[in-house]
Structure 1
Amino acid sequence: MNIRQIIRQKRRQLSPVERNIAQQAIYQQIFHHQAINTAKNIAIFLSFDGEVETTPIIEYLWQQNKSVYLPIIHPFSSTHLLFLKYTSETQLIKNKFGIFEPKLNVLNVFPYHQLDIVFTPLVAFDQRGYRMGMGGGFYDRLLANYQTQQILPIGLAFACQKVQHIDNKPWDIKLPQIIYA
């Protein structure tokens, strides 16, 4: 088994109690995070495969009058993401990976460079901030120039996803922050 499979299995094996305790600690960090509280436009993902449950985060952001955006696979460039406005009325469909995403409506597309924060999914991470995703490279391509665009990427993870060292490649993007418990 490779590191991606091992960590995904560890994440899925968290008991409901362990998962709940960790998620509550993660939510508290988010609720008290200065950059999140001052941000207006926040991209986040819908949880999949045992990831930190993002629905409570999304509901909190809506309560704080934040605009929330979800990624979709770009219809004309299948290795890139677009972000669409997400509300409680947004129709969701499953993409080719089985992950729910908003149904494409060009009126709801939001320019990536105008996002303040991008919550970033990950499978594993190390203390340097390097992450391992699911292997598609979507977020590495997306975040390649985040520093010049004033975007703050924040990883979300459980503590069991932290590893000693990610064997990062030159194109891998180091996250400035990872919220985990």
Structure 2
Amino acid sequence: MEKAALRRQLRARRQSVGASSRRGASRAVVRLALRYRLLAKGRRIGIYMPAKSEIDVRPLLERALAMQARCFLPIVPGQGRKRMWFSQMGEHPAWVLNRYGIPEYRHPLAKRVRAQRLDLLFMPLLGFDSRGYRLGMGGGYYDASLAYLKRIRRWRRPRVIGVAFSLQEVGRVPNDPWDIPLDAVLTEQEYRVFRATRC
């Protein structure tokens, strides 16, 4: 199945999750993140604000901040660019909606880093497979931001973790040479490692 058709199918599947199941999944993701010690004081964690039917990672963000992790949120670049900066979330509200309607943290004094300065990166997705390939929304922002992992094989940061409902797993995600596979996936049912090199 081509990517566009698979995206439509997976978007519908994700939208079918009821409100109660969504809340339960958000809590389960936090429990698993704690069990596998993904959150830690001082750790630089990239995390996103959920959009539409994505699994709600705000409880995960709140727990990471409570544990004194440093949390960085992606900033989608202007037209024609793909590589994202990640802005460190601070105490002061500084939320701005980007062109996709997703909140970004844009405080003028916030520290900004590229993906390679993060220890851990939680990523949204539409689908994933048993090889660790991820199907995103099609913008290519995460793949562009992590492209150095293909060029510099010995680079070990960040650990790339997809966050999804278990029903988003498919038999095979069509992949292109520029696609960056996940190191692991975190669902409401499990934390599954695909590549142990960074996990």
One fold, TM greater than 0.5?
A: yes
Equivalences for 1:36-47 in 2 at 5 Å? 36-37=39-40, 40-47=43-50
Instruction: State whether structure 2 residue 150 is matched by structure 1 residue 150.
Output: no
SS of residue matched to 1:68: strand
For this pair of structures, how many residues does the alignment match?
181
Q: Indicate conservation of the 8 Å contact 2:41/2:69, yes or no.
A: no
Deviation (angstroms), 1:108: 2.3
Deviation (angstroms), 1:87: 2.6
CA pair 149-6 structure 1, distance change in 2 beyond 3 A: same
Deviation (angstroms), 1:75: 4.5
The match for 1:178 among 185, 190, 197 is 185
Indicate the percent of aligned positions where both proteins have the same amino acid: 28
**What TM-score comes out, normalization by structure 2 length?**
0.83
Q: Which runs of 5+ in 2 are unaligned?
A: 189-199
Q: Which runs of 5+ in 1 are unaligned?
A: none
Equivalences for 1:30-41 in 2 at 5 Å? 30-37=33-40, 40-41=43-44
| Cα distance in 1 for residues equivalent to 2:13 and 2:124 | 16
Residue in structure 1 matched with residue 100 of structure 2 by the alignment: 97
Q: Indicate conservation of the 8 Å contact 2:94/2:105, yes or no.
A: yes
Query: Deviations along 1:110-161, whole A, 9 cap, x unmatched?
Result: 2432210011111111111100100011111112234614311111000111
**What TM-score comes out, normalization by structure 1 length?**
0.90
CA pair 68-117 structure 1, distance change in 2 beyond 3 A: same
CA pair 7-97 structure 1, distance change in 2 beyond 3 A: same
Q: Indicate conservation of the 8 Å contact 2:93/2:107, yes or no.
A: no
Q: Which structure has greater helix proportion?
A: 1
